[in-house]
Amino acid sequence: ASDIERFLAAFCTRREAVVEAARKLLSDEQAPRRQKLLADLIHNLNENILAEDREEDKKWFEGLESRFKNKSSYMRYSCESRIRSYMKEVSSFTSSVHPTARDAYKRIIDLMSDKLKSVKYNGCYFDRREEEAVRLCTTEGWFSCQGPFDRDDCPCKHSINPYSNRESRILFSTWNLDHIIEKKRAVVPELAEAVKTRDGREVNWEYFYQLLFTVDNLKLVHIACHKKTNHNLSCDKTKIYRKRKQNHKIS
């Protein structure tokens, strides 16, 4: 094992002793940079990551409504809130849709709403108790930045565990579920246009649903990796409409 591996192993096995030693050093330390390193070390080693219920980690729940009894239920709610806000944006675009297509657009919104309700607004993405296939974190609650929309990974290896302490929970709210094909610039206007020009064709609303509300088109990114420039990406024209299902009559 390398020196750094032995160093990290000592941290894990002698956590309390390391915290106590760091506290003593911090009480006499004057240099801001060293103060920051020691304070961060103490803070991180004192995390109560595995605690789930309010009674086990009261500090984590400070400032949250009493209805949240455990960490995972709050994290689910946090994710649901983001997805609900996307639905509100899609709905609020109704007034911009061509008058002749407005009713059809509203019907699609209703279909999307029903589907979102059935999957509980994809709150599973932030819930560490969920199956690995549907959550974006580890079983302990660690999230990794998936990098800017135009990269396959995060160049800075950003990571965070909002389950660990109150500060990390609050910081996680600055991380973004970023639409690769942009919601406002591309997906919603394309949906409105598809409804207006459908000319008897059936709009493939489920394709738009995937782009707006699922990880098919959403990336979890650290604020520094969230590029707000024009992505210059558009919807797949071959997926905008689908063939109507024909009912074959038996003679």
Whole-number Å distance between alpha carbons of 65 and 98: 42
How do residues 202-251 score in pLDDT, each as one tens digit?
999 999 999 999 999 999 999 999 999 999 999 999 999 997 655 544 44
Whole-number Å distance between alpha carbons of 26 and 3: 24
Helix 32-45 to helix 15-28 angle (10° resolution) is 150
Contact between 42 and 19 (Cβ < 8 Å)? yes
Dmax (CA) of the chain: 93
How do residues 96-145 score in pLDDT, each as one tens digit?
999 999 999 999 999 999 999 999 999 999 999 999 999 999 999 999 99
Pairing of strands 159-160, 176-179: unpaired
Whole-number Å distance between alpha carbons of 136 and 132: 8
pTM given for the model: 0.85
Collect all residues with Cβ–Cβ distance below 8 Å to 156 and sequence separation of at least 6. Answer: 145, 222, 224, 225
**Mean pLDDT on 37-52:** 82
> In which element (H, E) is residue 189 found?
helix 188-196
Whole-number Å distance between alpha carbons of 104 and 118: 22
